[in-house]
Each structure stands twice: as C-alpha cells, then as structure tokens.
C-alpha cells in the first residue's frame, strides 16, 4: 500500500498446474506494471489461511474446494451454480472469486488399464466390492490432503461403503502417487484429473458412478480489498481465463511433468504464442 507502486503477492499450492497458473499471473501482471511477489508450495488449507491473513492476495483455486474444504458446504455439480455459490459465501468473508475458467480439475481414483481389465474393475462401485470381498488385495497411494479431506478418501469410502485397511494405504507427497502406481507398488491411486501422467502412464479413471466428486473449476480467488484497489487485475486476466480449459491445462502440465520443461518457459511461451503478452 501507499505510493504509486502497484504491488501484489500471488500464492500457489504445491502442484504443477498451480505453479503454471501463478506464473502466468505473475507474468501478465508484471507486463501491466505490477510488482509481483510469489509464495508457493502450500497445501490447500495453508494457501487459504495465507489468503485470509493477507500474507497472500491473489490465488487460483477451485470452486469445489472453496465450497467443501474451506466452507464446509455441500458440493455443487453444475459449474455456474458452484461459482455463484462460492462468490456469495466467500464474498461475506472479504474474498472475491473472479475469472472462472473451463479447467475442471476434479479428483479421481486411478488404476492401470491392465489391472482394471483383469480384475473387472471399471467403476468405484466395482472397487468397493473388491475391497469388501478381499481387503488384502487392494493397495492405495494418496497424498495427505486427499487422505484427509471430506471430499477425499473419507468421503469416497463413506459414499461407496468400503474402507481400505490402514496398512493398505500409503501416504506420500503429491506426484509420487503416479510413480507408485506406474511402478506397480500399489494398484489404486488418487489423482488430479488434469494431470498428464494419467495418460502418459496408461492409467484410467475409475468411473465415479455415484457422482461423489463435484466439479472443481479453476478461478481466481483474491482479497476483496485488493480487488477493489486494483480492479484491472480481473480485466488483465480475463482473456486468459476465457481461453484456458481442461485439455489446454493438461497439455501445459505435460510439458512440465513429462517433458521436464521449466514452469517459467512453459507459461511464457504459451502466453506469447496465444497473444496474451508481447
Ligand atoms: N483439486 C484437485 C485439489 C487438487 C486437485 C482441485 C480438488 C485442490 O487443489 O483443491
């Protein structure tokens, strides 16, 4: 605050998509004379707390996460309805949601194609049946966040009526879940739907036949104070948010996670090639 310096702090969680979205935001705001500080590598709850405390001012988050994890609300399946609901609820808490995109990064349970075929598992209901019949057979890899969130493992188990034994569940840093299943250390793992490793490792997403997982569309979530001070942030980011969708995001994630390109290059090249920056 104070002076004519336009300064904001952008925050991000601890996975590639978040790094890319935050980096794009940084680049586009810097193009428009902002000075940007970056704080990244946080779990969802830590990022939210940083936003609430003002340590972080501008973030990208997900409608479903806002409703369920941050506000203890019921999930809402329809994109626009979820967006309006979180705008209203968070609006009362000094937070403003803008720039909803078509990136739907929902949670998923994944298996290797071949295992699914051999075990006759294609839906989460099939998985539940298997776990109930033979609890020793199925092993599961998850990050800590999914393992503990209401819209994560506890909720899936409750909805579908099964429970992995505690010795069947391996908790690990996000990212290693894909390696664990690819290396056949487990036969089921949690994933993020926009993660390119699902395709790269020939995994498939178990059909969520009871529709437990809602939509998680990416949008900007920022401090209302900052939104009022700098209404141009929403305008600067609007063309990009309108362009981004699940497929585009998976492609960008692929460049970082599979092709080992760095986040800055991937973000900058995309923005240049699509005319968002000079
Ligand atoms: N998600 C799936 C999680 C991680 C990816 C969007 C629901 C979240 O960050 O809230």
ipTM of the complex: 0.95
Strand partners, 223: 95
Q: Which atom of ligand 1 is nearest to the CA of 13?
A: 9
Q: Which atom of ligand 1 is nearest to the CA of 151?
A: 7
- Encoded tokens for 214: 């809602």
Ligand 1 pocket test target in 15, 70, 105 with most atoms within 8 Å of CB: 105
60 Cβ closer than 6 Å to some ligand 1 atom: no
Over range 120-124, report the average pLDDT.
Answer: 98
Average pLDDT of the chain to the nearest whole number: 97
107 Cβ closer than 6 Å to some ligand 1 atom: yes
- Under 8 Å CB-to-CB from 188, ≥6 apart: which residues? 109, 110, 111, 127, 138, 139, 140, 141, 181, 206
- Write the pLDDT tens digit of every residue in 196-208: 999 999 999 999 9
- Write the pLDDT tens digit of every residue in 91-108: 999 999 999 999 999 999
Report the pLDDT value the prediction gives residue 4, as an integer from 0 to 100: 74
* C-alpha 195 – ligand 1 centre gap (Å): 11
% the chain with pLDDT above 70: 99
């Amino acid at each position: 605050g104070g002076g004519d310096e336009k300064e904001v702090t952008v925050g991000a969680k601890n996975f590639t998509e978040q790094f890319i979205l935050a980096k794009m935001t940084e680049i586009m705001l810097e193009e428009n004379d902002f000075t940007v500080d970056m704080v990244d590598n946080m779990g969802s709850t830590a990022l939210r707390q940083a936003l609430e405390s003002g340590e972080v001012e501008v973030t990208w988050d997900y409608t479903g996460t806002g409703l369920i994890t941050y506000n203890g609300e019921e999930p809402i399946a329809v994109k626009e309805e979820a967006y309006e609901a979180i705008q209203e609820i968070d609006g009362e808490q000094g937070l403003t949601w803008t720039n909803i995109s078509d990136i739907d990064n929902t949670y998923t349970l994944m298996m290797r194609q071949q295992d699914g075929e051999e075990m006759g598992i294609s839906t989460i209901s099939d998985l539940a049946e298997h776990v109930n019949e033979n609890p020793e057979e199925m092993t599961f890899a998850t990050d800590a966040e999914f393992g503990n969130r209401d819209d994560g493992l506890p909720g899936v188990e409750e909805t579908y009526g099964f429970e992995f034994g505690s010795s069947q569940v391996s908790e690990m840093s996000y990212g290693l879940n894909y390696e664990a299943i690819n290396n056949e250390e487990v036969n089921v793992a949690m994933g993020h739907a926009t993660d390119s490793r699902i395709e790269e490792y020939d995994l498939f997403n178990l059909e969520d036949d009871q529709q437990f997982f809602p939509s998680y569309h990416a949008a900007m979530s920022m401090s209302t104070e900052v939104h009022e001070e700098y209404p141009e942030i929403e305008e600067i980011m609007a063309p990009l948010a309108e362009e981004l969708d699940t497929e585009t995001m998976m492609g960008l994630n692929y460049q970082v996670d599979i092709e080992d390109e760095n986040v800055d290059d991937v973000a900058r090249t995309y923005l240049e090639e699509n005319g968002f920056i000079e």
